[in-house]
Amino acid sequence: MLTIEFDILTALAIILFIVNLLLAIVLIFIERKDATATWAWLLVLYFIPFFGFIIYLLIGQTLTRRKMFEWEGIQKIGIESLIEEQKEQISDPEFTFNEPMVDESRDLIYMLLINNDAVLTKQNQIELLTDGKEKFDQLLSDIQQAKSFIHMQYYIYRYDDIGKEIIRALTEKAKEGVKVRFLYDDLGSRRLKNKHLAELEKAGGEIGVFFPSKFSPINLRLNYRNHRKLVNIDGHLGYVGGFNVGDEYLGKSKKFGYWRDTHLRIIGPAVHSIQTRFILDWNQAAKNYHIAYEDRYFPEIQTTGTTAMQIVSSGPDSEWEQIKYGYLKMIMMAEESIYIQTPYFIPDPTLLDALKVACLSGIDVQIIIPNKPDHMFIYWATTSHVGELLKVGAKVYTYENGFIHSKVLMVDRKVSSVGTANIDMRSFKLNFEVNAFIYEKETAEKLLVKFQEDLKVSKLFTWEIYEQRSKMIRFKESISRLLSPIL
């Protein structure tokens, strides 16, 4: 009997060894992930062979080349002429935009335009929304004013009080004849059910689901999620930023308390870029309800705004990590200051080194992170990385007034970025993200005022405090840091 059991265990061990070996071959020779991610996966497979294989199936697989090709095929719709015109203009060294912040950021704009087709738009009007109630009250008011269409896209959509209220508002507009299209990510909004949207569909609304599960209600695809939060109303008003939809974003969560985030409400030609992004995502997800690129979705916009900006997208379907490159270029441009707000700080070596160089060059680098985790491993990886910056002179603060989810980067009080991308490898490599890159001193000053207000309710996280952490915390940080390429 013991011999039989031993033979079975031996056979299982051999099978696990073969499976791990095959997966290692896939990692190294076929998928060709970057070296740090490959080593992280090999360690997982070595130390937890069976469960490591399961974890890899859940979060490790690379998006297939065929799928990436299909998505690349829909990236260019209707804006080719404007893109080509701007490419010619910005390639001419004698051409000037007649706006100081734009001309000073010419290289950054060039990079995002040439490689991301991120059109530069001017005369935008921006409203900064940093409080959940303020954001949702304004959104509901704008929904009620819609006349032609409402396009809405969120990563997390809770069917709670605020979620129900927005769905009711969308349903009423659909009954009035306004075309309502609602797109959500299947994993982020996994608790949102068909029955919750039945009345909206009955009223004529259309629903799109990004990367739905083939094994509902369980979604095994944890990577390649659509992390974007976009709203477009009547083609002239748009939203982009960090707020999802749920009561917790109104500060009603016992765990997190007050929720501090940053969202933009935009009136102006940049809304056309938001519309383009929505159409691309919608047509990939809602294959039975394609949106044609028509003038009615891109009306002429009369605005008295003064803000120049680009709407920049990135994701696993992109050839380059454009939002990360945008961040990197901004950091390299800095002469005086770099201010960052992010819930997760797990930069890759290039970004981390760029920030170190900035610190060592005398540039004022300040970072605000949460004082509490919403994902334990990510939090420990965050504190590990900020420790390196503390050593070279960065000022790091922990937000004490609840939870900070804001994704903001400001440089020299001139150029800023606000959007959905965190400073982590998941946002740069694995998720579909969208950020606004803004070239205007006034907007940067408004963001700075909010940053300074946050500092008043934050605690300085010094090198001395960091050095006093326990051996257990250091161990957790080491493990999290090691696994950070795959978190």
Q: How far apart are CA 359 and CA 448, in angstroms?
A: 19
Residue 263 is a catalytic residue: no
Is residue 7 annotated as part of the catalytic site, yes or no? no
Cβ-in-10-Å burial (0-12, 13-18, 19+) of 330 comes to: buried
- In contact, 227 and 188? CB cutoff 8 Å: yes
Locate 285 and state its tokens.
Answer: 């997800």
The residues, ordered by sequence, that sit 6+ positions from 204 with a Cβ below 8 Å of its Cβ are 174, 175, 177, 179, 180
Active-site position among 229, 236, 329, 414: 229
Burial class (CB in 10 A: 0-12, 13-18, 19+), 177: exposed
Nearest-angstrom CA–CA distance, 74 and 276 = 11
Which among 117, 348, 412, 454 is annotated as catalytic? Answer: 412
Please tell me what DSSP assigns to residue 218. Answer: B
Q: Are 197 and 226 in contact (CB under 8 A)?
A: no
Catalytic residue among 33, 173, 227, 476: 227
What pairing do the DSSP bridges indicate for beta strands 206-210 and 179-185? parallel
Could you confirm whether 227 is annotated as catalytic? yes
Please say whether the beta carbons of 402 and 260 come within 8 A.
Answer: yes
Separation CA 10–CA 12 (nearest Å): 5
Q: Tell me, yes or no, if 92 is annotated catalytic.
A: no
Q: What do you get for the CA distance between the two ends of the chain, in Å? A: 43
405 is catalytic: yes
- Among residues 236, 407, 429, 476, which one is catalytic? 407
Q: Could you tell me the two tokens for 8?
A: 């079975």
> Can you tell me the distance from the alpha carbon of 50 to that of 19, in angstroms, rounded to the nearest whole number?
9
Can you give the length of the chain in residues? 487
Contact (CB, 8 A) for 236 and 243: no
Q: Which residue among the candidates 117, 185, 186, 234 is catalytic per the annotation?
A: 234
Backbone dihedral angles phi then psi of residue 474, each to the nearest 5 degrees: -60, -40
Indicate if 67 belongs to the active site: no
Out of 135, 236, 272, 405, the active site residue is 405
Residues belonging to the active site: 227, 229, 234, 405, 407, 412
